[in-house]
Amino acid sequence: MHLELVVPALFAGASEARLPAAELLLARARRTRTEPATLERWLARAFGLAEESLPWGALTALAAGAEPGAHVWLRADPVHLRVGLDSATLVPSAGFSLDAQEARALADALERHFAGALEFVLAGPGQWALRAPEGAALRARSPLELAGCDVQANLPAGADAARWIALLNEVQMLLHEHPVNAARELPVNSLWFWGAGRLPREARGPWESVTAADPALAGLARLAGMRHRAVPEGAREWLAHAPASGRHLLVLDALSAAQALGDAQRLAAAAEALERDWFAPLLAALRAERVGMVTVHVPEAGCAFETVRGDLRRFWRRPRPLATYET
């Protein structure tokens, strides 16, 4: 079995921690260099898509069981806007809890208000898709990228931006009065429109399965004819239900999420969990020949590390802190 891990922010996110298993795997690996890229661009290229960005909305709708057809879809993710005197900063759903019942109640209220003109497809409490009946020439960064940023400086752009920003203002007024938010410590007082596009005709890649948290990647796997698996507690659980052969992709983005939120405690916990739950068990599985090869991709650093069991004997290649790989 060949297991490929995509771990954004591995070097920067784990800079304050020593991760012995991860350090050993990378030290003994054969390193290859690629063009530095965001996770989004890495995935687009890896799945043979011509675009440099992914149509997150259409892929999310597909994952949720909708038929995207030829329509343009958006992600319309619930967020909290923290309003100050001169600015409003964005808190993505990764920064607060929102359960399925609350999410559905908010979406139902919006659909009633807009009298069927808008229909939301919820793939998860924090991941909503919205069909754009009249299209959407819209460019916007994801909520996670904008965590802690001034919203006014990062509003969606494009030919249709004014129409969608006006809609966003109306959404905010409705959510402000909703009973769900009256009971919440951190209200869901806005949506964020991003990830516009049509579903590609096809996607392709070398993997038999894709394991990832964001439902858009479940849609990408489905489009490519691959099995999708939810991210389990760790590698031991993943291996317990995995075939003995084949090539499989895992996207582990907890470090990048914690880094975007600027939460040092969460970042340290994510690094510790990554080592304990993934790298240490995978190193043991590689030694036991349960896994034939482990490849670790770090997209923004533009490099990949490929390790087979025999590479672990290269004792002269000493482990070093992951932060040193940035230079």
What digits encode the pLDDT tens for the residues 56-99? 999 999 999 999 999 999 999 999 999 877 888 999 999 999 99
What is the predicted pLDDT for the residue at 119? 87
| Pair 159, 226 in one domain | no
| Pair 44, 103 in one domain | no
Give the pair of three-digit tokens for residue 147: 């965590």
| Pair 91, 10 in one domain | no
**Pair type for strands 88-91 and 303-308:** unpaired
Domain boundary, last residue among 197, 219, 241: 197
Domain boundary, last residue among 155, 181, 197: 197
| Pair 84, 171 in one domain | yes
| Pair 66, 189 in one domain | yes
CA distance 238 to 228: 12
Q: How many domains are there within the chain?
A: 2
What is the predicted pLDDT for the residue at 83? 85
**Residue 118 CA, distance from chain mean position:** 25
Integer angstrom CA distances of residue 157 from 89, 162, 169, 221, 251: 18, 8, 15, 29, 29
Integer angstrom CA distances of residue 37 from 31, 55, 81: 17, 17, 28
| Pair 62, 125 in one domain | yes
| Pair 100, 193 in one domain | yes
Whole-prediction pTM value?
A: 0.93
List the chain residues with pLDDT less than 50. none
Helix (H, G, I), strand (E, B) or coil at 78: strand
| Pair 232, 262 in one domain | yes
What is the predicted pLDDT for the residue at 18? 86
Give the pair of three-digit tokens for residue 38: 């965001």
For 53, counting Cβ atoms within 10 Å of its Cβ (0-12 exposed, 13-18 middle, 19+ buried), the class is: middle
For 94, the domain range is 56-197
What is the predicted pLDDT for the residue at 130? 95
CA distance 255 to 213: 13
What is the predicted pLDDT for the residue at 86? 80
CA distance 257 to 251: 12
Domain boundary, last residue among 178, 197, 216: 197
What is the predicted pLDDT for the residue at 282? 98
| Residue appearing with tokens 């965590």 | 147
| Pair 40, 145 in one domain | no
Contact call for residues 89 and 151 (beta carbons, < 8 A) = yes
| Pair 49, 60 in one domain | no
| Pair 283, 307 in one domain | yes
What is the predicted pLDDT for the residue at 172? 94
| Pair 153, 256 in one domain | no
